[in-house]
Structure 1
Amino acid sequence: MIEISTNKQKLDIQLIHNYLSNESYWAKGRSLETVQRSIENSLCFGVYTENSQVGFARVVTDYAVFAWLLDVFILPEYQGKGYGKKLMQAIITHPDLQGLRRWGLGTDDAHELYKQFGFTSLQKPENMMEILNKTPGR
C-alpha cells in the first residue's frame, strides 16, 4: 500500500537530506540547513509504504500562475513499482495546484515519466534565462 501526503510533520528530513546530498546528481553536497529551508518554503509530497518514507518531491509555487517541480525522487530499491507515477499523479491533481498557467522542471534522465503528465521541452528556450549560483551546498 502506498500513501502520498503533504503533511510536513511526516517527512523524514534525514532521509531526504541523505538522498539529495549523497545520491542525487542535482543536489550533491546540499547542506541540511538548505534542505530544511527548502522544505519549509515549498509544498512537499512524501511517498510512504509500510509507514516508511520511500520518496519525495516539492513544488515551489504562487498557487495562482506558476509552479516549479523539484527534488523528485523514489529510493532506488522502490523504483520500477509505479511509485513515481503515483507521486506525479498526486502532484498534478493536487487541489491547490489547479488552473496554473505554467509548470516547470529540470531533469537529466526522467523525460519519459514527465511527458506522461503533460510536460514538454520548452517551446521557446531562447526566452528563458537564469542565474546559476555555483555555491557549494546549494
Structure 2
Amino acid sequence: MPSPYSFSTDTATIDRPLVHRWLSEESYWARGRSRETQDAAIDASRNYSVRDADGRQVAYARVVTDGFTFAWLCDVFVDETARGEGIGRLIVEGVIDDLQHSSTVKRIVLAASTASGLYEKFGFAESSGPSRYLIRPMDR
C-alpha cells in the first residue's frame, strides 16, 4: 500500500504561517521566534516538507549548508496530530537522500535533546568534542 504522505524539496510549497506557528509556539528551541526571522531563515536555507494525502503540510525541516562541505539539519518538526506515523523518519530520510544526491556535503550535523533514537537510525552519533551535537558522515 502506498504511503499517504509525500516528501518535497520545493520551498515554494512551504506553509510559512504554519511553520512559524509550530516553531515559535510549540518547539522548545525556537519559542518566540519572530515571523520575520523565520521567513529569513527559510529564504536562506534548503527546505523540506511532508504533506498528507489531502495536501496538508504535516512536517518541516530545513538545512543550513554551504552545499559543499557541511550541512546543519535544524527545525525538524512533525505536527502533533501526525506523530507516530513514520513522518519523522520520512523527512529525515528525504533530507539525507537529497543532500547525498545533490551536493558534495561530507557530514550533516544536528543538535537535539529529543528524538535522538530517530536520528541514530540514520547514522547520527554524539560527537567526540565538547558539544552535544550529533554528526552523520556522508557516504562518499
* TM-score of the two chains, using structure 1 as the length reference: 0.87
CA distance in 1, matches of 2:122, 2:105: 14
- 1:16 matches 2:19: yes
Q: How many residues align?
A: 126
Taking only the aligned residue pairs, the percentage that are identical comes to 38
Structure 1 residue runs of 5 or longer lacking an equivalent are 129-138
1:43 paired with 2:43, answer no
Pairwise mapping of residues 1-138 of structure 1 onto structure 2 (< 5 A)? 1-49=4-52, 50-94=54-98, 95-97=101-103, 99-125=104-130
Match in the other structure for 1:134: none
Structure with higher RCO (Cα < 8 A, 6+ apart):
1
Q: CA RMSD in A?
A: 1.3
Structure 2 letter corresponding to 1:117: F
Task: Give the 3-state SS of the residue equivalent to 2:60 in structure 1.
Answer: strand
How far did 1:100 drift? 2.1
CA apart distance, 1:103: 1.3
Q: How far is the alpha carbon of 1:11 from its aligned partner? A: 0.8
TM-score (norm. length: structure 2): 0.86
